Structure 1
Amino acid sequence: MNKSYKETRRSFIKKSTTGTASLLMAPGIFSFNLSEIKAEPEMGKLPSEDEKFMFAGFAEADITPEIGMEQPGGYGKAYHRTFHDPCKVRVAVFDDGKNPAAIVGIDAISIPRSLVLSVRKQVEARCNIPGNSILIAASHSHSSGPLGVMPGEFDHADELVKHLAYEKSITTNPEYYAHVEKSLIESICKAYNSRINSQVGVGKGFE
């Protein structure tokens, strides 16, 4: 770094710092009072005793595929030969007395939209959780079951696309699809029906 560049840089920083300080100290420049800015925001109003309750329920189901079923996650066909841990559906339902909601985790590479919409519709009819209050998320497990390209999904496409979709990608097994759908519906409703009065808190931590 040459001398002239150093001097130019120092001069710029000095002028910038001085100008910023002048603006901050000048009255009327900003609409807020700097003395009112606090390092930590004030906590909100604590809930009353009547507002503290929350019902919560939990459930899970085993959706481990069978040995020999397609294994997702790679290019080309692969098939399950062994299993280490079970694949599961896990559900948590929270209800403040007015707005029940379900958070669902499923060990799957992905979830077909048709499956999500079907589960939401049937759960809403069976246990009154609104469909748009049911969140279903996949763990993107490469050791999960055959949920992928739906049968007939690419029948309209050209031969190359059909070959890639049906012969080189994970395809949905209809029997496994039905098993997962049933497990999702029953687990969500089981969690809803097992709700108990619970205490729920929020916190933060640092490593």
Structure 2
Amino acid sequence: MAIKNQLYAGAAQVDITPSLGTRINGDFVTHFATHIHDPLYAKCLILKNDHEILAFVIVDICTMSQTFMDEVKVKINKQTHIPLRNILMACTHTHAAGAIEEVHLGALDMAYRRQLASQIPKSVTEALDKIQPAEFAWGHLHVPDHVLCRRYHMSDDYTPVNPVTDQEDQIKTNPFGLEKWIDRPVGVTDPEVYYMAVRNLDGEWISVLSNYSLHYVGDWENGTITADYFGVFAQAVKENLNAGEDFVAMMTNGTSGDINIWDFAGEKSYPAAHFKKSHLIGTDIARQVAENLVGRTSWKKSVALEMKNNSLSLGVRKPDQKALDMAKKIVKESDYENFVYSDAGLRKAYAREQVLLNDEPDERTAPLQVIRIGDLVIGALPGEFFAETGLNLKNENLSKGYFTICLANGNVGYVPPAHEIEMGGYETWRCRYSCLEENAEEKIFARMKNTIKEITAST
């Protein structure tokens, strides 16, 4: 008997591992790929019913701009006819991947950028080729063990300094070597792991897409190519479910702008060797997701698919003339060929940022997207947002399942709440990667809240 509005699903992944020698970003300077530990992928999950089609495209990379993503979406549209507005594209945010955008002093790799632009659409066309009748389920679980706030109040014996203003900050992000002066963490964490899963009507697994608000693990040497814990999770889920070769798992990055798992306060006992920590975290989350998923009995063969897209124009914080003149003076006196990570080095790096930021447009556009799959709602935000933002969005949607995928459809950089900007810390230091107006988070939250209300009202 035919099912009305039957769900169809297909998934695929394409190897996008860069060549040795490719530039890597995610640090203040460029690194070069000298060791490939594990492959990187562009992954796609397509969901389709009688009325709509959705494509989730998740890429093992640190950052992609809206300009780049829009170019790739046009390629996808031409090859598949999937509407541009129906594509969600996001970075995992591994910091050990090819560089296709300039970040701080780290340069982009044009050869890899061109290569990636042609590889990502293949994941979508291959997923579309594999589309088949399917059933859908989602769930969430509490995994607080692997998330810590990386912003700390320090004791009175240590004074954090803002390299942009040369003034005191109230907090310190990632206090390497300063552990003895830590007082307490600043913010909250989001301990939830969300997942959605599809399998065919014979019970064979097609895909699992998960979400966790953990920045990345970063337990590798500079020069390494690795998908970090995101890749470990994907492989471990496949093994735990005893899934077939065509199965594709993916972990998306939630609201983790102020969250990592670098244990400055000595609360954890993770292994210290390279890759051991990411393996432990990835396999632990995968095991818990698989156990939760195997016991799930509520599978739906017919689900509504809906999406809403809009955008916000937001002001850019720029240096005033006095700050700009000082920055130019510092730049003229600086040697950027031999950058050293220190207070003095940061002062030079951020002086350069002020000069370059001043030449940027006075506004940036933030693309916002909300997707509904049955009674699950997914928000997509184009940057690095704090756990507080994600938790507040979840609290607005207590009657539904909800999670946020960040670094999606673009990247406007860090978007801290206004009160966090006031306290300072790395994520708030004015630069091209953290420059939106102070109330940007509040405006984005309000727009997302209203859009979520609109999309859930149609259920």
Q: TM-score, normalised by structure 1?
A: 0.63
Contact 1:147 1:170 in 2 (8 A): no
Question: Does residue 186 of the first structure (1) align with residue 122 of the second (2)?
Answer: yes
Secondary structure at the counterpart of residue 28 of structure 2: coil
The 1:82/1:204 distance shift into structure 2, 3 A limit, reads closer
- Partners of 2:142 and 2:100 in 1: how far apart? 38
SS of alignment partner, residue 199 of structure 1: strand
What residue in structure 1 maps to residue 195 of structure 2? none
Instruction: Assess, with a 3 A threshold, how the Cα gap between structure 1 residues 75 and 189 changes in structure 2: closer, same or farther.
Output: same
Summarize deviations over 1:53-111 as a string: whole Å, max 9, x none: 21101111111111111121111221111121111111100001221110011011101
Q: What does residue range 76-115 of structure 1 map to in structure 2 within 5 Å?
A: 76-115=29-68
Equivalents in 2 of 1:176, 1:131: separation in Å? Answer: 24
**Aligned-partner residue type, residue 131 of structure 1:** L
Shift of 1:206: 5.7
Note the 1:1-207 alignment, pairs <5 A: 50-51=3-4, 53-149=6-102, 169-205=105-141
Superposition deviation, residue 169 in structure 1: 2.5
Helix, strand or coil at the partner of 1:179 = helix
How far 1:128 moved relative to its partner? 1.5
| Relative contact order higher in (CA < 8 Å, ≥ 6 apart) | 1
Structure 1: which 5+ runs fail to align? Answer: 1-48, 150-164
Deviations 1:23-76 (A, max 9, x none): xxxxxxxxxxxxxxxxxxxxxxxxxx7346211011111111111111211112
Q: Give me the whole-angstrom Cα distance separating, in 2, the residues matched to 1:132 and 1:171.
A: 30
Q: Distance in 2 between matches of 1:115 and 1:55?
A: 29
Give the 3 Å change call, closer, same or farther, for CA 113–203 of structure 1 in structure 2.
closer
**Aligned amino acid, residue 97 of structure 1:** D
Structure label with greater radius of gyration: 1
Question: How many residues matched?
Answer: 143
Comparing both structures, which one devotes a greater share of its residues to strand? 2
Q: In 2 relative to 1, CA 204–76 (structure 1 residues): closer, same or farther, beyond 3 Å? A: closer
Amino acid aligned to 1:198: A
The superposition leaves residues 105-133 of structure 1 with CA deviations (integer Å, 9 ceiling, x where unpaired) of: 10111012222111211222221111011
Cα displacement (A) at 1:205: 4.9
